[in-house]
Amino acid sequence: MTAAVFSFGAFISGGLNAHADDSSSHTFVIFDRSGNFIENKNLSNEYDDWTGNQLKEELRQEGFIVDSKSNIDNYYNSPFTDVSVIAPKHILTLNYVDQNGKTVYVEKHAVTNYGQTDVQKNLSDNYTVDNDQKSVNNSNTNYTVKVTAKDGINDSFQQKENDIFTDTPAVNEVSSSNDLSTQSGNSYTYNANITIQDQTGKRLGSYVLSNEDSNIVSFDEIIENYNNDYDTSGLPKYVDLTQGNQIFTVNSHNVDEDNKPIGNNDKVVFKIIDQHGNFVEYLTFNTYGKNLKLLN
């Protein structure tokens, strides 16, 4: 991911220097933690303590949290202060479509609304990006990147989906689906209780996932707990901690009449009986993005 990094000097020749001679005003230059410029805030510095608190409150109302590494207490030593903030992230999905209209590669990133993402960095050498496009704005959620296959490459080739999520959560196993006790009782910016239940609705485990820097975190550690005994194919690869407490269902590999499944996570469950009305088995189908037809 490319970051449009700005610094104090980059703004001096622009609109900011209009405030440099105003002793009652101070300019805060706001960036996300990747160095992407967000906005400028010009606040009165008549009362030092009040100005710093006002900045934090205004940013909080906009969904930003001032990075603990940002030293805004000493802002009065200069007319300009760079402030790093923790900004909410979302998933940016890049769909690479070739000249025949086929999606040949999908790439997902956890990004803020600011800056840009490189669209060429991870693409196979079998393709070139049309018009030599370099990047896409992070404010997008889904974006189509048009590519052209090189000679000798046909539609049968498809590059494996690449999910680029670098943030892993602190995980604390808890005893209920509404417990928000964090690991070692530490304080984090983002927290959510994630509960796993089986096909009967029985709770298998509850976990508080926490992260200081990102609301989008990997789900790998939780999935690994259930791979051996349950079908985890319906579990997400990541979770958004700003969505609050969440429940996900996994189906046991050993299903019978006393352990019948329930439909969930884009799945439908069929109870199979023979011609005499006797129970045979339960079959679970993943129906996400599919049209299911029943034949008599």
Query: Which 3 state secondary structure label does DSSP give 268?
Result: strand
Average pLDDT, the chain: 82
In a domain, 285, yes or no: no
The answer to whether 235 and 187 are in contact (CB under 8 A) is no
* Residue 23 pLDDT level (bands cut at 50, 70, 90): low
Residue 80: predicted pLDDT: 84
Report the alpha-carbon distance of residue 96 to residue 107 in Å, rounded.
8
In a domain, 278, yes or no: no
Which stretch of 79-83, 119-123, 257-261 has the lowest confidence by average pLDDT? Answer: 257-261
What's the pLDDT tens digit per position in 116-136?
999 999 999 999 999 999 999
What's the pLDDT tens digit per position in 208-237?
999 999 999 999 999 999 999 999 988 999
Whether the pLDDT of residue 42 is over 80: the answer is yes
In a domain, 264, yes or no: no
In a domain, 259, yes or no: no
Q: Which of 164, 187, 207 is the last residue of a domain?
A: 164
Distances from the Cα of 120 to the Cαs of 4, 123, 153, in angstroms? Answer: 17, 5, 18
Which stretch of 1-10, 103-112, 176-185 has the lowest confidence by average pLDDT? Answer: 1-10
* Residue 261 pLDDT level (bands cut at 50, 70, 90): low
Domain region containing 113? 90-164
Which stretch of 9-13, 98-102, 208-212, 282-286 has the lowest confidence by average pLDDT? Answer: 9-13
Q: Which residue has the higher pLDDT, 20 or 154?
A: 154
Q: Which of 86, 102, 137 is the last residue of a domain?
A: 86
Looking at the structure of the chain, the number of domains it has is: 3
The answer to whether 233 and 223 are in contact (CB under 8 A) is no
In a domain, 239, yes or no: yes
Q: Which of 54, 86, 118 is the last residue of a domain?
A: 86
Report the alpha-carbon distance of residue 143 to residue 130 in Å, rounded.
14
Whether the pLDDT of residue 268 is over 80: the answer is no
* Residue 256 pLDDT level (bands cut at 50, 70, 90): low
pTM of the entire predicted model: 0.74
What's the pLDDT tens digit per position in 52-72?
788 899 999 999 999 988 877
CATH number for the domain spanning 95: value is 3.10.20
* Residue 16 pLDDT level (bands cut at 50, 70, 90): very low
In a domain, 3, yes or no: no
In a domain, 280, yes or no: no
Q: Which residue has the higher pLDDT, 111 or 44?
A: 111
Report the alpha-carbon distance of residue 64 to residue 85 in Å, rounded.
6
Residues 13 and 82 in one domain: yes
Q: Which residue has the higher pLDDT, 1 or 166?
A: 166
Q: Which of 117, 114, 118, 96 is nearest to 105 (CA)?
A: 96
Beta strands in 150-198 (DSSP E): 162-164, 170-174, 190-197
Residues 119 and 70 in one domain: no
Residue 35: predicted pLDDT: 94
In a domain, 219, yes or no: yes
